[in-house]
Structure 1
Amino acid sequence: MHAKRTVGAASVPDASALGASQSYQYSNLEGSAAAETALAEEVALAIAYNGISQAVMLVSPSDLEDFIVGFSLGSGIIASPDEIYDFRLSGCGSSMQAEVEIASRAFWALKEHRRQLTGTTGCGLCGVEAVEQALPELQVLPATALPPAHWLDGLRQRISDFQPLGRHSGAVHAALFMNDQGELLLSREDIGRHNALDKLIGALVRQGIPLAGGVAVVTSRCSLELIQKALRAGLQTLVSLSAPTGLALQWARRHNLNLIHLPQHSAPRVYSPAMENRS
């Protein structure tokens, strides 16, 4: 278990216990005496489902259990957390493995997807299948109210307390969750922005935290993949500290996901729902 420190009503991993950074020596171009600084670590995590290799992800070596659950759900490999029966992490150093046991139905769908993407590149069909996987049919969320404006007041400053690894070493993204009372509950950090959101989703699922009325916050730019992960997890509002892409905005509106950009020096920008749809 990671050591914790308390910030308000929430618990935050202590950067010294994360195991996701190490100190390295450096010098400047003038050849001055060596100094040390903390740098974020990354490991190659090979993920297999029911014995079949699926992906190798470069991740920060912290909260990997949360990542496995969130990646499986956010990538559409499982439809619900109940379809994960068990998983085991092994390995050390820069190479780790995750053996995940999933329900037969989910495994059959995964094998069918892999079969569709296998074929000759000249047939013209493989690209079609790949596009269908990149732009899948996802369930439209029930419309939900936008968060009160004061929830976002000073948010950039407040989330700093939930980024211990980022403050310690830099080079990482964060994803955070705010409950239906506007309280920041937990965060997850990773070198990959997708990974950070996967870890957050996994943590919410594993801890049984209700999502209704809550807000997910990502410190990275908001592209389509993050929208899809939020939709699959059932997150109803996504706040991004960097601007969304046009396609991300279109998908958010189409699927009733509240999408808000929080610029550094101006007021929050509500992209979804569209202004004409707001009463």
Structure 2
Amino acid sequence: MSEAVLDRPVRKRRRGHPVMPSRMVRRFQDGHFVERSETIAGECATAIVYNGVSFSVMMTTPQHLDEFAIGFTLAEQIVQHVGEITGIEIEDVVLGVEIRLSIPQGRMDKLLERRRMVIAGTSCGMCGILSIERALRTLPVLPPSPPIRARVVQEVLAALPARQSINHETGAAHAAAFVANDGEIVLVREDVGRHNALDKLTGAMARAALEPANGFLLLTSRCSTEMVQKAAIAGFPILVAISAPTTLAVELADAAGLTLIGFARPSGFNIYTHDYRITG
């Protein structure tokens, strides 16, 4: 996935937006009200800025924001590998957080042209992408890869909740996990946004020079078109989601050579495409 590893320090100037703040609440239970402290999933507006130019604003869980920025940058194909990101600064601003990335001027020129095309187009209403052609970009075709055992998928599904610390405290966070073919959960990232969780994971993997082809992707969310696109671009051969895929997600996965699994539970799952990668 990456040709170089980002080894420059991340500069952070932050007062800090809490990841899991606590608040006194009133709860109705067993026929009466009680006052108690609840942990709540943090959320803040996060701006991604390239070479001083704002590109996008999203709502995120304020944790692992450098990895989120790297993953987002790679997923959007603004750079081709993590080594092209020459600096990251994270700073609190009045209403949220700015993540400021430095990229080569050639990449920035292409980004500015892309931004002009977005401003000049007619919106289709899909996450700021302004045409069907841009939304349904051509995906790479994944090469064949060795199969994994069905039992490995089931065991990982049972083990993942213990690794979801934010969701355990709040019940409001999605997770994206990279799992080795032998069933080891290598990395987990969480966020209130399912897309953000996956971008954080791919960012962390790029930084650690982990190859997606050596395992599979596990998502605690529904599997939409965008999730399949991000998985295929990153190079994951298998995507496992605990909820349902959409029809277009299945079509894109099939065309990209991606094994797509949905309705995944420890008790079983559905395989929608390229089932040769899963053995009994």
TM-score, normalised by the number of residues in structure 1: 0.84
Change (3 A) 1:225 1:84: same
User: What residue identity is the alignment partner of 2:26?
Assistant: S
Corresponding position of 2:49: 48
Corresponding position of 1:200: 201
In 2, the alpha carbon distance for the partners of 1:88 and 1:210 equals 26
Corresponding position of 2:22: 23
In 2, the alpha carbon distance for the partners of 1:195 and 1:57 equals 9
**For structure 1, which segment, 261-270 or 41-50, has the greater mean C-alpha deviation from structure 2 after superposition?**
261-270
Q: Secondary structure at the match of 1:153?
A: helix
Corresponding position of 2:273: 272
In 2, the alpha carbon distance for the partners of 1:51 and 1:194 equals 24
Structure 2's unaligned 5+ residue stretches are 1-16
In 2, the alpha carbon distance for the partners of 1:88 and 1:267 equals 44
**For structure 1, which segment, 261-270 or 141-150, has the greater mean C-alpha deviation from structure 2 after superposition?**
261-270
| TM-superposed deviation, 1:119 | 2.5
Q: CA RMSD in A?
A: 2.5
**For structure 1, which segment, 107-116 or 161-170, has the greater mean C-alpha deviation from structure 2 after superposition?**
107-116
In 1, the alpha carbon distance for the partners of 2:61 and 2:130 equals 31
Change (3 A) 1:33 1:42: same
1:106 is the counterpart of 2:76: no
Contact 1:174 1:188 in 2 (8 A): yes
Change (3 A) 1:164 1:92: farther
Contact 1:43 1:93 in 2 (8 A): no
Contact 1:146 1:237 in 2 (8 A): no
Corresponding position of 1:9: none
Change (3 A) 1:33 1:94: farther
Contact 2:25 2:38 in 1 (8 A): yes
In 1, the alpha carbon distance for the partners of 2:176 and 2:240 equals 10
Corresponding position of 2:6: none
Contact 1:162 1:186 in 2 (8 A): no
User: What residue identity is the alignment partner of 1:41?
Assistant: G
In 1, the alpha carbon distance for the partners of 2:235 and 2:145 equals 12
In 1, the alpha carbon distance for the partners of 2:214 and 2:51 equals 35
Percent identity over paired residues: 35
User: What residue identity is the alignment partner of 1:22?
Assistant: P
Corresponding position of 2:160: 159
Equivalence map 1:131-146=2 (5 Å):
131-146=132-147
Change (3 A) 1:145 1:243: farther
In 1, the alpha carbon distance for the partners of 2:220 and 2:22 equals 24
1:74 is the counterpart of 2:68: no
| TM-superposed deviation, 1:249 | 0.7
In 2, the alpha carbon distance for the partners of 1:161 and 1:104 equals 43
Change (3 A) 1:265 1:69: closer
Q: Secondary structure at the match of 1:27?
A: strand
Q: Secondary structure at the match of 2:97?
A: strand
Contact 2:46 2:58 in 1 (8 A): yes
Residues 28-84 of structure 1, C-alpha deviations (whole Å, 9 max, x = no match)? 479945321111011111111111110111100111111010011112222222221
| TM-superposed deviation, 1:92 | 6.1
Corresponding position of 2:63: 62
Residues 159-180 of structure 1, C-alpha deviations (whole Å, 9 max, x = no match)? 0111011101111100001113
